[in-house]
A and B are shown apart, each in its own frame.
Chain A
Amino acid sequence: GAVVSQHPSWVICKSGTSVKIECRSLDFQATTMFWYRQFPKQSLMLMATSNEGSKATYEQGVEKDKFLINHASLTLSTLTVTSAHPEDSSFYICSARGGFSGWSIGNTEAFFGQGTRLTVV
């Protein structure tokens, strides 16, 4: 199956600094990438959807100026947490979806990165 790679797997940063998380699709072109956040003992919550070459669409309640998303190529999307605070500590997960050639969206599996554990101290 397709592989989505996230980097780093974990990061610890000081409060007030910015952190960049990369999400790469290794063997397919990801026209759309999704960024999720997961707090302990909770399910994944969608933060934003990004399409290559266009601005990301953020879910309600997610600050677009704080969580900067760049999807500059078909294989790379980045999430930058700016001026991170302890409450931003979470598990961040990306997902990628390729284009479709005869397959419907519903009939296509999603591919997820391994996640990035962010701890802000």
Chain B
Amino acid sequence: DAKTTQPNSMESNEEEPVHLPCNHSTISGTDYIHWYRQLPSQGPEYVIHGLTSNVNNRMASLAIAEDRKSSTLILHRATLRDAAVYYCILRTNYGQNFVFGPGTRLSVLP
């Protein structure tokens, strides 16, 4: 799976939007962009994924650059429960597993 680059950490204030960036300049045409998050002492949790178009679900929005070399996970109103490590992962149609990078540790301040 192609590599992604994310900031090590970010901070946000509660009830404010959060934009978590991810660079994936070596993405191939068939790679899906997946986002997962891991709360403390828990397994990863699915957040959202997309291919080319922006995606919205109840948890977040995913904005994908036109050239697909970067994407942004948007939490519209951060809550204390959103404090977690967020992983941006490229998923191929041929790769069996998910390759996790260091992710971005999001801190939410009250």
Chain A interface residues (CB < 8 Å from chain B): 1, 4, 6, 32, 34, 36, 43-46, 49, 91, 93-95, 104-107, 109-115, 117
Contact A115 B42 (CB under 8 A): yes
B49 contact set on A, CB distance < 8 A: 107, 109
If the complex has contacts A106-B32, A110-B98, are A115 and B91 also in contact, measured as CB distance less than 8 A? no
- Quick one: closest A residue to B47, CB to CB? A109
Contact A105 B44 (CB under 8 A): no
Per the bound structure, the CA–CA distance linking A113 and B103 in Å amounts to 19
A-B contact pairs, 15 of them (CB 8 A): A4-B43, A6-B43, A34-B97, A43-B100, A43-B101, A95-B44, A105-B93, A106-B32, A107-B49, A109-B49, A110-B46, A112-B36, A112-B45, A114-B43, A115-B43
Looking at A34, A105, A114, A115, which has the most chain B CB atoms within 10 Å of its CB? Answer: A105
Per the bound structure, the CA–CA distance linking A4 and B34 in Å amounts to 19
- Quick one: closest A residue to B33, CB to CB? A106
Contact B43 A112 (CB under 8 A): yes
A36 contact set on B, CB distance < 8 A: 100
Contact A114 B98 (CB under 8 A): no
Contact A106 B46 (CB under 8 A): no
- Quick one: closest B residue to A32, CB to CB? B96
Q: Does B10 contact A (CB under 8 A)?
A: no
Per the bound structure, the CA–CA distance linking A65 and B34 in Å amounts to 33
Contact B46 A1 (CB under 8 A): yes
7 smallest CB-CB distances across A and B, nearest first, come from A112-B43, A106-B32, A44-B100, A109-B46, A106-B91, A106-B93, A115-B43
Question: What sequence of 0s and 1s flags, for each residue 87-110 of chain B, a beta carbon within 8 Å of any chain A beta carbon?
Answer: 100011111111111110000000
Q: Does B30 contact A (CB under 8 A)?
A: yes
Per the bound structure, the CA–CA distance linking A113 and B15 in Å amounts to 29
List B42-99 residues whose CB lies under 8 Å from chain A. 42-46, 49, 51, 87, 91-99
